[in-house]
């Protein structure tokens, strides 16, 4: 029997598991997908928001502010990338300038650093801002991360410190018997004293399995374009329009790897798994043109969509259930959930510690940072290639990723098991050719390193079979 079982290995579940792994008790993190961070935590704007826009008095405002202040230290601890690139919220009309005043009031109340700028000054700082921009505020404490990198790193440390991760485990039913939970994953039954529901868009369904109807979630889709990295960047700072009832609006966001995200739109959808991109992208194209000019649409290399788990309570649902003892909600975690998650994890940890009183672990094992050759000097690279020639064999030409780096991310705790897993951990397939050249190679490497036939390795999204046929042809 586990002390704690967490359903959902998105950023909410992963960061909770990570902070609980510093305590001496048994914790299990499970997910229905074959990798961590496959839900909203893999498809979002990747922004660590300053906390300027959530409604006063909401849990979103509270946890956004705390999370923003925790992120740099968290990323230092996990050895993951964090950049405080700052943001501009810009207006294009007098009416919008009125709404900017509300954001300024939030900044003053919440002690968020800000600066009011006129259109000309904004264009001096960001040359591709539209000529229509009249005014704006600068929010220097806004940052960016690579969301799945944060989750993977957190789960690695959780595993290194005795945590258990069960992937491909879909929770299908839950019973409460003699003060413990019996969690059914198809034919398997897991037992736990405390159950945490961090199941993203499915969190209401999980609660419903225990008869809890506290809230319901409707997925709200957001679609994006990704622009290739170029020498001349479209923007160096995040560009927000003033927020509306539909959320933060369509943004231009520089990413950790120097790409640009344009999006998202905001559409309620009935299907909790619907992440296909469609006409939402036309809206993104129209809206972004209101705040940013000279957009090189020819540099679009990919599109994607994410689903916000929007609750009917309009706020996060966090804490122990009022009726089912030891059942803890981490639900309705829509934006700014990525930002808020470290702060939410600390509060949920407090609830659990009060119940089980575990001691702190005497020793804690830190993860080893993956080998990232693009961060190395020429001398360091040469040294590494001398020790292991695989670091001299280029597999992904667009992102310049070597065989050594791919092997490293396969043979780690929480290592890559499929083509998408390799792509998210070290980027082959993230560049201009979108895997056209390297995907087959990655499949062959996975098959060799994991000693699994290629047919059994999944690609995700595209159908592995075609890729396997290509790979076999090449091997003939």
Binding site for ligand FAD (CB under 6 A): 7-13, 30-33, 38-41, 43-47, 49, 170-171, 198-200, 202, 206, 222, 264, 306-308, 333-339
49 is catalytic: yes
Q: How far apart are CB 328 and ligand FAD at their closest, in Å?
A: 13
Q: How far apart are CB 272 and ligand FAD at their closest, in Å?
A: 9
Give the Cα separation of 341 and 8 in Å (integer). Answer: 13
Give the Cα separation of 10 and 136 in Å (integer). Answer: 33
Q: Closer CB to ligand FAD, residue 309 or residue 415?
A: 309
Q: How far apart are CB 466 and ligand FAD at their closest, in Å?
A: 25
Q: How far apart are CB 139 and ligand FAD at their closest, in Å?
A: 13
Q: How far apart are CB 8 and ligand FAD at their closest, in Å?
A: 3
Q: Are strands 47-48 and 188-197 parallel, antiparallel or unpaired?
A: unpaired
Q: Closer CB to ligand FAD, residue 339 or residue 458?
A: 339
Q: How far apart are CB 153 and ligand FAD at their closest, in Å?
A: 15
Q: Closer CB to ligand FAD, residue 335 or residue 402?
A: 335
Peptide bond between residue 332 and the one before it cis (omega within 30 degrees of 0): no
Q: How far apart are CB 341 and ligand FAD at their closest, in Å?
A: 7
Give the Cα separation of 138 and 77 in Å (integer). Answer: 28
Q: How far apart are CB 20 and ligand FAD at their closest, in Å?
A: 15
Q: Closer CB to ligand FAD, residue 309 or residue 404?
A: 309
Q: Closer CB to ligand FAD, residue 250 or residue 471?
A: 250
**In this structure, are residues 442 and 419 in contact, taking their beta carbons and an 8 Å threshold?**
yes
Q: Closer CB to ligand FAD, residue 344 or residue 445?
A: 344
Q: Closer CB to ligand FAD, residue 199 or residue 384?
A: 199
* Residue 189 structure tokens: 């039954």
DSSP letter at 244?
B
**Secondary structure of residue 52 in the 3-state scheme:** coil
Look at residues 28, 255, 34, 9 and name the one whose alpha carbon lies nearest to residue 153: 9
Look at residues 396, 268, 285, 261 and name the one whose alpha carbon lies nearest to residue 334: 268
Q: How far apart are CB 78 and ligand FAD at their closest, in Å?
A: 16
Q: Is the dihedral of CA 215, 218, 220, 221 positive or negative?
A: positive
> In whole angstroms, how far apart are CA 337 and each of 127, 316, 343, 394?
31, 9, 10, 37
CA 191 to centroid of chain Cα atoms: 29
DSSP letter at 174?
E
Q: Closer CB to ligand FAD, residue 119 or residue 309?
A: 309
Give the Cα separation of 138 and 115 in Å (integer). Answer: 5
Q: What is the DSSP string of 75-131?
A: HHHHT--EE---EEEEESSHHHHHHHHHHHHHHHHHT---EEEEHHHHHHHSTTB-T
Question: Please, which residues have CB within 8 angstroms of residue 142's CB and are 6 or more apart in sequence?
Answer: 47, 48, 49, 50, 68, 84, 85, 86, 87, 238
Could you say which of 49, 62, 169, 329 is catalytic? 49
Question: Please, which residues have CB within 8 angstroms of residue 143's CB and are 6 or more apart in sequence?
Answer: 47, 48, 68, 71, 72, 82, 83, 84, 85
Q: Is the dihedral of CA 167, 168, 170, 175 positive or negative?
A: negative
Which residue is at the shortest CB distance from ligand FAD? 337
Q: Are strands 217-227 and 267-268 parallel, antiparallel or unpaired?
A: antiparallel
Q: Closer CB to ligand FAD, residue 147 or residue 435?
A: 147
Give the Cα separation of 10 and 19 in Å (integer). Answer: 14
Place of tokens 């704007």: 45
- Catalytic residue numbers read 49
């Amino acid at each position: 029997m586990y002390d704690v079982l967490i359903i959902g290995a998105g950023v909410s579940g992963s960061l909770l598991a990570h902070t609980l792994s510093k305590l001496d008790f048994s914790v299990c993190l499970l997910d229905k997908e074959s990798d961590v961070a496959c839900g909203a935590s893999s498809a979002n704007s990747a922004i660590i928001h300053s906390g300027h826009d959530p409604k006063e008095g909401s849990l979103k405002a509270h946890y956004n502010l705390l999370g923003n202040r925790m992120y740099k230290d968290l990323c230092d601890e996990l050895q993951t990338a964090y950049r405080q690139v700052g943001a501009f919220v810009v207006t294009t009309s007098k009416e919008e300038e009125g709404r900017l005043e509300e954001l300024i009031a939030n900044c003053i109340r919440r002690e968020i650093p800000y600066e009011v700028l006129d259109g000309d000054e904004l264009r001096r700082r960001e040359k591709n801002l539209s000529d229509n921009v009249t005014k704006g505020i600068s929010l220097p404490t806004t940052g960016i991360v690579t969301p799945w990198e944060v989750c993977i790193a957190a789960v690695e440390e959780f595993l290194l410190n005795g945590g258990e991760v069960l992937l491909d485990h879909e929770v299908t039913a839950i019973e409460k018997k003699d003060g413990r939970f019996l969690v059914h994953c198809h034919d398997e039954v897991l037992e736990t004293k405390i159950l945490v529901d961090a199941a993203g868009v499915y969190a209401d369904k999980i609660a419903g399995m225990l008869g809890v109807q506290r809230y319901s979630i409707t997925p709200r889709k957001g679609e994006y374009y990704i622009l290739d990295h170029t020498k001349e960047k479209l923007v160096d700072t995040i560009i927000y329009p003033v927020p509306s009832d539909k959320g933060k609006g369509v943004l231009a966001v520089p990413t950790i790897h120097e790409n640009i995200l344009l999006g998202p739109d905001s559409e309620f959808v009935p299907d909790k798994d619907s992440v296909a991109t469609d006409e939402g992208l036309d809206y993104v194209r129209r809206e972004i043109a209101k705040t940013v000019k000279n957009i090189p649409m020819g540099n679009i290399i990919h599109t994607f969509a994410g689903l916000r788990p929007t609750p009917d309570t309009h706020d996060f649902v966090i804490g122990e259930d009022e009726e089912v003892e030891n059942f803890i909600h981490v639900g309705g975690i829509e934006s700014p959930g990525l930002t808020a998650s470290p702060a939410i994890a600390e509060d949920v940890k407090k609830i659990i510690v009060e119940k089980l009183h575990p001691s702190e672990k005497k020793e804690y094992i830190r993860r080893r940072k993956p080998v990232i050759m693009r961060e190395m000097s020429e001398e360091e690279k040469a040294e590494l290639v001398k020790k292991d020639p695989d670091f001299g064999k280029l597999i992904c030409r667009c992102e310049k990723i070597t065989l050594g780096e791919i092997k490293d991310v396969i043979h780690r705790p929480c290592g890559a098991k499929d083509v998408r897993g390799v792509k998210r951990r070290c980027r082959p397939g993230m560049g201009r050719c979108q895997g056209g050249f390297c995907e087959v190679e990655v499949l062959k490497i996975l098959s060799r390193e994991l000693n699994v036939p290629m047919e059994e390795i999944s690609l995700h999204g595209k159908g592995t079979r075609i890729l396997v046929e290509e790979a076999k042809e090449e091997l003939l």
